[in-house]
Each structure stands twice: as C-alpha cells, then as structure tokens.
Chains A and B, each alone.
Chain A
Amino acid sequence: MGKRSGRISNRIRQLRSRCGELTQQELADRIGVTRQTVNAMEGDKYSPSLEVAFRIARVFKVSVDNVFQYHENT
C-alpha cells in the first residue's frame, strides 16, 4: 500500500476579514499561539494540531472543515 500525500489549505484569512478585520495578533491571542504561527498557517506553510484547528473554528463559529480543506494528490 503506497503512502498517500496531500495538501491542507485554509480560509483563515477570509474568515478574519469576515469577522470585522480581526488581526493576526488578535486571533493568535484567542487561540493561544504566536502571530508568526497564524501567519504561517495563512501561508499554508504550517498545519496546526487538531486542538488548535478546533479553537480556530470555535473563534469563527464554523465547523473545522469550513476552515481547513484537505486536497489529496492524485
């Protein structure tokens, strides 16, 4: 069985603008990470832990799969 690989993207930037231009620092403070981590997530360079993913979804009052999408490589 071959190893599957994929890419995780997210809509954090769009959700921040929808929430009245919530800044990266404000979001970072609310989910307990640094501003640099929020920036890395928005640039699709870092995928957070499940716990942080749930905290982000809770801040925006949406489900996790509304924030993060998994794209499997074919």
Chain B
Amino acid sequence: MFSFREKSLWLMFVSLVAVFAFYFATVLPSNAAHVEPSHVALFTLAVGMLVIIAVLGHIVIAIANPRTATDERDRLIGLEGKRNGSYVMVAGVCLALCASLFDTSTFVLTHVLLGFWVLAQLVEIGSQLILLRQGA
C-alpha cells in the first residue's frame, strides 16, 4: 500500500513527464534560433498545467489517504534524492555552458538547461521512490 508521500511523489513524477513531454514535443521541432514569445507562452501554460495538476492531485490524494507527518528517515531520503538530482543538474549546467561556446542561440541554451532541470527533478523524485520502496 502506498503512503501519502509515495502517492504525492508519483503524482509529481507522472505530471512532470506528461507536461514537459508535451512542451518539448511542441517546441523542439520548431528549431528556432532564439526563444520566441510563443515558446514563453507555451512554457507558462506548461507550468500552469503542472501547478493545477499538483494542487488537484494532492487534494484527491489527501482525501483518500490522510497525510502523515515526516520523520528523520523521510528527511534523509529527501536529501539523498536531492543529491542525486544535483549531479544531473550540474552536468546539465556544464553541458549548457559547452553548448553556448558553439551555439550562441538562446533557444539551445534555454532548452538544454530546462531539459536538465526536468531530468534532475525526475532523478530526485525517482531516487526517493526507489529508496522508499526498498525500505531504506
């Protein structure tokens, strides 16, 4: 049986994948030189969708499964997840810096950074889900 925390993490994982898969699938084929107002609008829409899904999803989860307090093990698992996610984020920043040396377009720089931020979030949440399931 999943706890409130696991359900919450699954909700965030699935919604991040769904929303940013939609965003990247729409924006990347345009292959623009720079970030355009339409990209910003779509990004704003994606973030808005993410917030709405998160809020509504958490309300549904809280009704079905009352929230339990967190403890020292939850905090350690959270920190472990953040550590794993930070490795991905650092790699993404390095890659974005390298990309900016060869390509001066803001489109590439922005989307490499955004892509790695999403990946870092997924690694952070995924690590926590694995650790919680393993009972670590």
A48 close to B135 (CB less than 8 A): no
Interface string of A41-56 (1 = CB under 8 A from B): 0010110110010000
- Report yes or no: B68 in contact with A34, Cβ–Cβ below 8 A: yes
Give which listed residue, B69, B70, B135, contacts A40 with CB less than 8 A.
B135
Indicate if the CB atoms of B135 and A43 lie closer than 8 Å: yes
> What total of A-B pairs shows CB separation below 8 Å?
34
Per DSSP, chain A at the interface is: loop
Contacts of A43 in B (CB 8 A): 135
A24 in the interface (beta carbon within 8 A): no
* Closest partner residue, chain B, to A51 (CB atom): B72
- Chain B interface size, as a band, is 10 to 19
Considering the complex, give the chain B residue whose CB is closest to the CB of A33.
Answer: B71
How many angstroms from the CA of A34 to the CA of B69 in the assembled complex? 7
Say whether A34 contacts B136, CB under 8 Å: no
CB-CB contacts of A26-46 with B at 8 A, as 1s and 0s?
Answer: 000000111011011001011
Verify B132–A36 contact, CB threshold 8 A.
yes
Residues of chain B lying within 8 A (CB to CB) of residue A45? 134-136
| A32 adjacent to B134 (CB under 8 Å) | no
Q: Given A48-B72, A52-B72, does the pair A36, B3 have CB atoms closer than 8 Å? A: yes
CA distance A43 to B135 in the complex (A): 8
Write out the residue numbers on chain A whose beta carbons fall within 8 Å of the beta carbon of B34. Answer: none
From B3, B72, B132, B134, A49 is in contact (CB under 8 Å) with B72
Cα–Cα distance between A5 and B31 once the two chains are bound (Å): 53
Instruction: Name B's A-contacting residues (CB within 8 A).
Output: 3, 68-74, 132, 134-136
Task: Give A residues with C-beta under 8 Å from B.
Answer: 32-34, 36-37, 39-40, 43, 45-46, 48-49, 52
**CB pairs A–B below 8 angstroms (15 shown):** A33-B71, A33-B73, A34-B68, A34-B71, A36-B3, A36-B73, A36-B135, A37-B73, A39-B135, A40-B73, A43-B135, A45-B134, A45-B136, A46-B73, A49-B72
